[in-house]
Structures are given as C-alpha cells and as structure tokens.
Amino acid sequence: MNKREIQFVNTFFNGREYRKAKSFKLNRDGMVRYTPDVYDVERDTYIEIVGSRQAYHANKEKYKMFRQCYPNIKFEIRHYTGQLHSDQLHSDQLHSEFDKSKKISELVVLSESDLQEIFKLLREFAGTHKAAAKHIGMSYTRYNEWRYRPQDIPPAGCRLLELAAKEIQANNV
C-alpha cells in the first residue's frame, strides 16, 4: 500500500475490518485484470482509492469496464480523504440514492427559488459554499456552475441537492 492508501485505511475504516481486494478478469481470456485497492468487509464493497483527479482519469476506463463486467458487485471510488469521488456521485452512485420506484426522467425539476434556498441551506450548514460542495461530494467548480446557472442542473443533480437538503433538515430537527 502506498502512503495515501494507508492514510485512507486509517481514517476510513477506523478499526473496522477490511481486506486486500481480490483481482477480477475484465475480459474472457483473463489478460486484462483489475484489482481494487481494498474490500470493506462490513459493507461488502470494493473500494478504489484515488489520490488525484489525474489518477482517476488515468484509470477511468478500467473502472467502467469493471462495472460493466460485474454490475452486481458494490464498487466505490473514493478520494484518499474518504470522500466519494465527485464523478461517481454524478453517475452510478447518485442513482442508488434515488427512490427505487422513480425513474430519473420522472423526477421533477426544482424551481430556481427552491434551488436558491437549497444552496443557502447548504452554505449555512457547511459554513461556506466550498465546504458545502465537499460535504455533498462534488467539485466546487460544478457546484458553482449549478449555483450560478440553475437552469442547467439536470434532474439527477436536482435530486442530489434535494436529498442533501433533506438530510440536513432531518439532522437539525
């Protein structure tokens, strides 16, 4: 394990059980293989730890192939600090947060005033917009794009913001 992986394990698992992950075949002949960094025993989830955006993008296709070959295996990409990788929140992980009975296309797009209230709530909860973006696991750049151009937020993004607001409100009751 490298230094950042050790930092992740010490912070994220905090005494919980984890194991070195097994290797998976990504093609029929087994010539292309992928081994996630760790296996979270308690959550039955394989975790890839990335130290930088460049590291993520260098292996992005392998992660995609892994998900295609093993769709029933829980897999997360996390920054070495423990946060879910922001791209993952906007793709497959985001969908798992939704009510299973709803399809993305059926989601209601929030009004601009609703979105302004959500961004205000996030900022108040986290202290700054930058901290709010980090709290919900998205890049500060994308957060600001959405904040200043709410009409460009896709339905899945509206749902993410709605879920974040509901979580904050539930914890403040």
Q: Where are the domains of the chain?
A: 3-82, 104-171
pLDDT of residue 86 exceeding 70, the answer is no
Which tokens in the block code for residue 166?
């509901």
What integer best gives the mean pLDDT of the chain?
80
pLDDT of residue 94 exceeding 50, the answer is no
Q: Are 45 and 75 in contact (CB under 8 A)?
A: yes
- pLDDT, position 48: 92
For residue 110, give the amino acid letter: L
Residue 47 — very low, low, confident or very high, per pLDDT cuts 50/70/90? Answer: very high
pLDDT of residue 37 exceeding 80, the answer is yes
For residue 96, give the amino acid letter: S
Q: Are 49 and 38 in contact (CB under 8 A)?
A: yes
3-state secondary structure of 51: coil
pLDDT of residue 89 exceeding 70, the answer is no
User: What's the CA gap between 148 and 160, in Å, rounded?
Assistant: 17
- pLDDT, position 91: 45
- pLDDT, position 108: 53
pLDDT of residue 88 exceeding 80, the answer is no
Over range 130-151, report the average pLDDT.
87
Over range 114-121, report the average pLDDT.
91
